[in-house]
Amino acid sequence: MLGRWWMIVPPVLLAGCGPFSSLTDPAGAQSRWLADLGWSLIGLMSIIIISMFVLIAWGALRRRGRLEEHLPIDVDGGKRWILYGGVALPVVVLTILFGVTLVTLQALPGEAEEAPGLRLRVTAHQWWWEVDYLYDDLSLRFSTANELHIPVGVPVEIELQSRDVIHSFWVPQLHGKLDAIPGHTNRVVLRAEAPGTYRGQCAEYCGAQHAHMRFLVVAQPPAAFREWAAHQRQPAPEPSTEELLAGREAFETHACAMCHRIRGTRARGSVAPDLTHFASRDTIAGVLPNTRARLQAWIINAQAFKPGAKMPTLEQFDGETLNALAAYLESLE
């Protein structure tokens, strides 16, 4: 029974390592610096630890002879080891680490001098991410949530804010962690080097749903990004069937509209994610795949999936209304 305890070690070590979030697979300049720093630390530490174990083994196994052979006892004999191994070596190693870390820190904001090709404001909330696309022309601005699209190869400046507590914005493959602090705006410039979907995660404990405070960064070729942005700017599509019409009516006349906004409808809440193009997102609230069945489950019992979230359980809908509501939301491409 206990004989195979070691079999749980690899799954435990690998738990949480998704294909999209590996620090060792950088897709941006800042992450490359951090990955290089990580590898050099691992390399240096490996050399030190292996040398240490070799010395321990050598000390334990070498022939020592008998005590009489060593008389008189050489009490000063080990001092050099203490001096070299206990003082000189740590000073050298820590100085190297300090230097390497300083160089990395210097390099991190390296792209800030470039004029950003796109400006976003990311606002952290307990427990979701609000994303505003800040174009100088106000008519081009729009908002989304828990998923941001950026053009590949373009420096994107992110103004980071928080609405409540301290969070931390982190996309391991693109940049280093940056705190989102209430009343203070932090900035990071990131640039995705390759198209892809990169997973992000809040990296500062912010309450019960900290672990569920995930988001996606979708890096697209610039033309595809412009197309996506142009679509996001459009108001929500008009309902094309009776059911969708009933769904919109239900959304506008129940609690939904008090918190959420769907541009082009009477729903103008501003404390919860903008749902104008909800169906174009991959996830529901960053925690569930965006499918009709899961959306229904989320509407009637969000607390089961994200306990403590501000989305209440909405059990007042009958089956038909719930169907219509979910169908309407899933039509918001």
- Judged by the rule CB under 6 A, the positions of this chain that interact with ligand CUA are 124, 127, 167, 202, 204-206, 210, 213
> Of the two residues 210 and 233, which places its CB atom closer to ligand CUA in the complex?
210
Query: Shortest approach of ligand CUA to residue 306 CB, angstroms?
Result: 12
Query: Residue 240 in contact with residue 248, Cβ under 8 Å?
Result: no
- SS3 sequence of 281-323: CCEECCCEECCHHHHHHHHHHHHHHCCCCCCCCCCCCCHHHHH
Minimum distance between the CB of residue 201 and ligand CUA, rounded to whole angstroms?
Answer: 8
In whole angstroms, the minimum distance from the beta carbon of 127 to ligand CUA comes to: 6
CB atoms within 10 A of CB 255: 13
Residue 202: CB minimum distance to ligand CUA, A: 3
Smallest separation (angstroms) from ligand CUA to the CB of 90: 35
Amino acid, res. 204: E
We find the least distance from the C-beta atom of residue 214 to ligand CUA, in angstroms, to be 10
CA dihedral for 25, 31, 32, 33, sign (positive or negative): negative
Q: Nearest approach, Cβ of 123 to ligand CUA (angstroms)?
A: 11
In this complex, which beta carbon is closest to ligand CUA, that of residue 31 or of residue 201?
Answer: 201
Q: What is the helix (H) or strand (E) element at residue 51, kind and residue range?
A: helix 29-61
Of 79 and 310, nearer to ligand CUA (C-beta) is 310
> Which CB, 246 or 272, lies closer to ligand CUA?
272
Q: Which is closer to ligand CUA, CB of 177 or CB of 294?
A: 177
Helices 292-305 and 319-330 sit at what angle, rounded to 10 degrees? 110
Burial class of residue 73 (count of CB atoms within 10 Å of its CB; 0-12, 13-18, 19+): exposed
Cα distances (angstroms) measured from residue 177 to each of 42, 59, 112, 216: 20, 43, 16, 15
CB of 206 to ligand CUA, least distance (A): 3
Are 130 and 157 contacting, i.e. CB atoms less than 8 angstroms apart?
Answer: no
Q: Which is nearer to ligand CUA, 147 or 204 (CB)?
A: 204
Q: What proportions of the chain, in percent to the nearest 5, are helix, strand and coil?
A: 45, 20, 35
Cβ proximity to ligand CUA, 192 vs 206, nearer residue = 206
d(CA 11, CA 141): 44
Asked whether the beta carbons of 161 and 123 are under 8 A apart, the reply is yes
If DSSP codes are grouped into helix, strand and coil, which group holds residue 225? Answer: helix
Q: Tell me whether residue 122 or residue 284 sits nearer to ligand CUA (CB atom).
A: 122
